[in-house]
Structure 1
Amino acid sequence: MTPFEQAQLDVKTLTRKPGVPELLQLYALYKQGSLGDVQGDRPRGFDLAGGAKFDAWAALSGTPPEQAQEEYVALVMKLRAAELSVMD
């Protein structure tokens, strides 16, 4: 299992839901690391969450998937470490 795949499992075990900025960053890094540059059209109308997710992913355009995977793993590790420090 790659570190990226392990981080995908680890993020599901977080006991506290990350804030919106972290959730958008996780989403964008996951998509960039899995699929590469943003695909499709930006959601319109009242799909505010879809638009925010699209924009976060689009902001990473040009980032190599390997780099996005490394950043995703680092962010998950940071979120897990923050949880552990709160428990101490």
Structure 2
Amino acid sequence: MDLKSQFEAAVANSKTLSEKPSNEVLLQLYSLYKQATEGDNTAEPPANPFDFVAKAKYQAWEALKGKSADAAMEEYIQLVTKLKG
């Protein structure tokens, strides 16, 4: 199975986890997914300083700047595999 197929399977598996992951792990999944599918974050930072969720998501994705899509896919697959146990 090629990397893209494994990634798509991991995305599907992430939606069927037996337990909801912690917010920290959810941010990891989000940022790795965005980096794998869209590349570096080019969006403006959230304008509302009290929108903590948007700010956390933005910062998590921004932290992956420069990571290749393939590397992000591999990390995402490994994380979902670990979460599935």
Q: TM-score scaled to structure 2, two decimals?
A: 0.91
Bigger relative contact order (CA 8 A; separation at least 6): 2
Q: Tell me if 1:18 matches 2:16.
A: no
Aligned-pair CA distance for 1:44: 2.6
How many residues of Structure 1 are paired with residues of Structure 2 in the alignment?
A: 81
Measured against aligned partners, the alpha-carbon deviations of 1:41-61 in whole angstroms (never above 9, x if no partner) come to 111322110010000000000
Q: Tell me if 1:62 matches 2:66.
A: yes
Q: Which runs of 5+ in 2 are unaligned?
A: none
Q: Which runs of 5+ in 1 are unaligned?
A: 82-88
Please give the secondary structure, in 2, of the residue aligned with 1:41: coil
Distance in 1 separating the partners of 2:22 and 2:78: 16
Deviant stretches of 4+, over 3 Å? none
Distance in 2 separating the partners of 1:42 and 1:80: 32
Name the structure 1 match of 2:55: 51
Percent identical residues:
46
Distance in 2 separating the partners of 1:77 and 1:44: 35
Equivalent of 2:36 in 33, 38, 60 = 33
Q: TM-score scaled to structure 1, two decimals?
A: 0.88
Name the structure 1 match of 2:78: 74
RMSD: 1.0
